[in-house]
Amino acid sequence: MQVSVEVLGNLERKLRIEVEWSEFEQKESDELNKLSKKAKLKGFRPNKPIPRHIVKQQFGLDVRHQVVADTMKDTFKAALEQEQLTPANYPKFDQVQLENGKPFIYEVEFEMIPKVNLVDLEGVAIDKTVANVAEKDIDKTLDRMRKHSADWEVADKKAENEDQVTIDFEGTMNGEVFEGGTGQDHALVLGSKSMIDGFEEGLLGVCAGDERNLSLTFPEKYHSEALAGKAVNFKVTAKEIKVAKLPELDDAFAECFGVKEGGIEKLREEIKEGMVREVEEKLKQDLKKVVFDKWVELNPLELPPSMVTEECTHLNKRSGKDAEGEVDADIEAEAKKRVHLGIIFGQYAEQEALQPEPEEMMEILKSRVSAYEQPEVIMSYFLKNEKMMQDIRGMALESKVLEKLLENADVKDVEVPYTQIMEANAD
């Protein structure tokens, strides 16, 4: 096999590959021999070889097509290894010469993934946020759980924040009722921020039977374009005021959340475990973004356009847009970052010989299924699903790359209150 490389651009290459006729002819002969032993033709006894010339007469064209495809596949792979090239897109094959007695010649054009002289994070300052779950944080969570489990009792009083007001309402814009602007017997908890700004505040102090007219404006980034930024008026009738009756923090309350033994103290332990797990995962994702963004910045490279286009299509589809439709600037920027990171990530993992261990994958899998009621059932489902296990493997490898990069970085722990972390991620 002879290989020549033509540079068409910074990342574009054309390979011209020549295979000696004797090699090609031998492959064709081997295929015909195999076929003569297993082919079935009318007039020939089963399990008896069919004469070569008959097989060639009947199947020669199909065999040649197959040998051409197999030869291209095998020799192209060998040529890439020989020239140390990695295609970024599906190659374009062009058959140049196929004549008996002459070398089989074909050409392949493709974009290649660039090789990077990788820079790690040696000496780079990285702030690593850490947070502890305090008793007061558990108290707040328990308080929210009590409120979600509250019974509502009718009260003869003026409505305050955290009271539930049953209302009828009608919204108009320019004097006309707009779609989705009306409701009957709607139970609204004041202070829940489930309505647009000003609506709940406008009902503070109402009593059952009161009417209020609220002149409000929808947010500029409201999900309905017809209402975004528009001035509207709501006519609201308060029909009933209810106050929350919170359950006691006792064993019965704990049992409502699946704790049959250990009472409130056991419930607090389980709540803390869940909160720790949640905040640690959020902080890990935040740290990963900081580290990988910095790493991309330190390793500039030219991106293969075909890979960026493919990633844009994927992101468009994932966001519910036309996969082949117009790509906005945010999606294009995200696609470029993903392609960039993917290239240096793959080369770094290979350079450092990083491979996830089975026990590391199992730890991630256990964490993923721990939130389910029957984790062992979900675990079994994951283990039988090849694609899901590939995703777990990718997560484990990502953790190893992150850990390796941080070994040389100048990492400083920065403690931040738990509530600050959760509120920031909620935004």
Going along the chain from its start, the domains and CATH numbers come out as: 2-111 (3.30.70.1050), 151-245 (3.10.50.40), 274-426 (1.10.3120.10)
- Name the strand (E) or helix (H) holding 418: helix 418-426
Q: Is the pLDDT of residue 151 over 60?
A: yes
Q: Identify the pLDDT of residue 166.
A: 97
φ and ψ of 353, to 5 deg: 55, 45
Asked which of 41-55, 71-85, 413-427 is least confident by mean pLDDT, the reply is 41-55
Confidence of residue 48 (pLDDT cuts 50, 70, 90): low
Beta strands in 144-249 (DSSP E): 151-154, 164-173, 176-189, 211-217, 231-245
Confidence of residue 426 (pLDDT cuts 50, 70, 90): low
Q: Is the pLDDT of residue 225 over 60?
A: yes
- Name the strand (E) or helix (H) holding 14: strand 12-19
Residue labelled with tokens 């607090």:
268
The amino acid present at 47, given as its one-letter code, is N
Beta strands in 250-291 (DSSP E): none
Beta bridge partners of 87: 112
Distance CA 267, CA 264 (A): 5
Q: Identify the pLDDT of residue 45.
A: 59
Mean pLDDT of 157-174: 96
Pair 240, 155: CB distance under 8 Å: no
Please report the sign of the dihedral spanned by the C-alpha atoms of residue 378, residue 383, residue 387, residue 390: positive
Q: Identify the pLDDT of residue 80.
A: 96
Q: Is the pLDDT of residue 422 over 90?
A: no
Q: Identify the pLDDT of residue 369.
A: 87
* Cα pseudo-dihedral 202, 203, 207, 211, rounded to 10: 70
Which residue, among 15, 20, 4, 3, has the nearest Cα to 100 in the 3D structure? 20
Render pLDDT for 97-135 as a digit per residue (tens, 0 to 9).
999 999 999 999 999 999 999 999 999 999 999 999 999
Q: Identify the pLDDT of residue 42.
A: 65
Q: Which residue has the higher pLDDT, 191 or 53?
A: 191
Query: What is residue 86's DSSP assignment?
Result: -
Q: Identify the pLDDT of residue 184.
A: 96
Mean pLDDT of 15-33: 93
Render pLDDT for 69-106 as a digit per residue (tens, 0 to 9).
999 999 999 999 999 999 998 999 999 999 999 999 99
Supply the angle between the helices 358-369 and 386-408 in degrees, to the nearest 10.
110
Q: How many C-alpha atoms does 22 have within 13 Å on its Cβ side?
A: 1
Q: Work out the mean pLDDT of the chain and round it to a whole number.
A: 91
Q: In the numeric block, which tokens belong to residue 331?
A: 């999606």
Render pLDDT for 344-393 as a digit per residue (tens, 0 to 9).
999 999 999 999 999 999 999 988 888 787 888 999 999 999 999 999 99
Q: Is the pLDDT of residue 6 over 90?
A: yes
Confidence of residue 59 (pLDDT cuts 50, 70, 90): confident
Q: Is the pLDDT of residue 409 over 70?
A: yes
Q: In the numeric block, which tokens belong to residue 112?
A: 């290649």
Confidence of residue 53 (pLDDT cuts 50, 70, 90): confident
Q: Give the percent of the chain with pLDDT over 90.
A: 79
Pair 241, 163: CB distance under 8 Å: yes
Q: Which residue has the higher pLDDT, 67 or 367?
A: 67
Mean pLDDT of 140-149: 93
